[in-house]
């Protein structure tokens, strides 16, 4: 049977007792779709967005894009660390972005292979790059490669949403949401964003 947004939402309602009223108040989420943006462009943006608001990260990304264009390097990933920090990127994130660029330059086939990997193998390989942790790898898997069955439990917003729901006697058990755990995460983020909790 072909997966549809309605099937996904019904599966979450069936596997997470008590969540039905909250889910039905939210717009139905479309299915995740693989991005056509090259990984070398997507991954540095994910790294920059970690632990920042959308507004703050967008400002930093825009600065970095302008700097990359001005220096003629084309991509954020190829900016030297000092240029990245000058745009507002932390030192640790700048080092992680530079490690992505190094991998792209020296092992392009390794990055190309990511699109064919399952979630566990992808996260394992991506987190071997210096400075990249499970959260960043999970976000890449979910929103760049459209992996539908991930729940990045390291995410502070997801933990907050689960805690707020527990206060309402709604116990979220991500394992029960398989094979659609990514959508459970997305709906929990939506609940926070739309102040439903």
Euclidean distance between CA atoms 48 and 179, whole angstroms = 29
For tokens 């990514």, name the residue.
Answer: 182
- pLDDT at res. 25: 92
**pLDDT tens per residue, range 95-144:** 999 999 999 999 999 999 999 999 999 999 999 999 999 999 999 999 99
- pLDDT at position 48 is 97
Percent of the chain at pLDDT > 90 equals 93
What is the model's pLDDT at position 157? 93
Mean pLDDT along residues 75-94: 96
What is residue 8's predicted lDDT score, i.e. its pLDDT? Answer: 98
Please, are residues 118 and 149 in contact by the beta-carbon 8 Å criterion?
Answer: no
DSSP classification of residue 31: P
Query: What is residue 75's three-state secondary structure?
Result: coil
Residue 89 has pLDDT above 90, yes or no: yes
**172 φψ region: left (φ > 0), alpha (ψ -120 to 50), beta (else):** beta
Q: Is the pLDDT of residue 78 over 80?
A: yes
Following DSSP, what letter does each residue of 104-130 receive, concatenated?
HHH-HHHHHHGGGS-HHHHHHHHTTST
Alpha carbons 63 and 61: distance in angstroms, whole number: 5
Instruction: Note the pLDDT tens digit of each residue in 172-194.
Output: 999 999 999 999 999 999 999 98
What is the spatial distance between Cα 91 and Cα 130, in angstroms, rounded to a whole number? 13
Residues with Cβ within 8 Å of residue 91, at least 6 apart in sequence: 81, 85
Q: Is 168 exposed, middle or buried (0-12, 13-18, 19+ CB in 10 A)?
A: exposed
């Amino acid at each position: 049977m072909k997966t549809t947004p309605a099937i996904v939402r019904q599966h979450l309602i069936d596997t997470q007792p008590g969540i039905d009223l909250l889910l039905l108040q939210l717009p139905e989420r479309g299915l995740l779709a693989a991005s056509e943006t090259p990984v070398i462009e997507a991954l540095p943006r994910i790294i920059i967005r970690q632990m920042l608001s959308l507004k703050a990260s967008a400002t930093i990304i825009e600065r970095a894009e302008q700097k990359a264009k001005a220096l003629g390097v084309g991509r954020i990933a190829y900016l030297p660390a000092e240029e990245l920090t000058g745009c507002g990127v932390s030192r640790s994130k700048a080092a992680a972005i530079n490690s992505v660029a190094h991998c792209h330059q020296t092992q392009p086939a390794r990055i190309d292979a990511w699109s064919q990997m399952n979630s566990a193998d992808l996260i394992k390989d991506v987190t071997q790059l210096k400075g990249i942790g499970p959260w960043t790898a999970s976000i890449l898997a979910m929103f760049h490669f459209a992996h539908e069955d991930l729940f990045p439990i390291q995410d502070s917003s997801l933990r907050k949403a689960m805690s707020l729901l527990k206060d309402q006697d709604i116990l979220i058990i991500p394992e029960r949401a398989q094979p659609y755990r990514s959508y459970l995460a997305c709906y929990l983020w939506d609940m926070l964003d739309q102040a439903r909790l």
